[in-house]
Structure 1
Amino acid sequence: MDTDLSDIPIWHQEEDSLDIESFQGQKRKIIQPSSLKDPKLEKLKGILVDWINSTLKPEHIVVQSLEEDLFDGLVLHHLLSRLAGVHVPAEEIALTIAAQTRKLELILEQLDKRLEQGDSCIKWSLQLIHNKDLLATIHLLVAMVRCFQPELDLPPNVKVEVVVVEVSKGGIKSEAQMEVLTGVRDASADSATNTGGEDPIEQLLKLEAHKVNTVKKAILHFINQSLSSIGLQVSEMDKQFADGVILLLLIGQLEGFFIPLCDFSLTPVSHSEMLHNVTLALDLCNDSGLQVSGVDPQDIVSQDVVATLKVLYILFKKHKGSVDKRDT
Structure 2
Amino acid sequence: MTDENKKNSIDKVASAAGVSIATVSRFLNGQLDRMSEKTAKRIQNIIDEMNYVPNAAARQLMTKTSKMIAVVVANIEDYFSSEIFKGIDGIAITEGYTPVLFDTNGDEQQELYLIDKINQQNFDALIIQPLNVDANMIKKHLKRNIPVITVDRLLENSEWPTVVSDNYDVTKNVSNYYLSKGYTHAVIVTEPIGTVSTRRDRAAAIKSVYPDASLVEVNAKDNVAKKVKARIFADVDKKEKILIFALKERLVLKLAARFRQDFTNANIKLTGFAESDVLFEINPGLKLVRQNPFKMGVTTGELILSLLNSDEASVPAVTVVKADYL
TM (norm. structure 2) is 0.26
Larger Rg: 2
Q: Which has the higher strand share?
A: 2
Q: Which has the higher helix share?
A: 1
Q: Higher relative CO (CA 8 A, sep ≥ 6), structure 1 or 2?
A: 2
TM (norm. structure 1) is 0.26
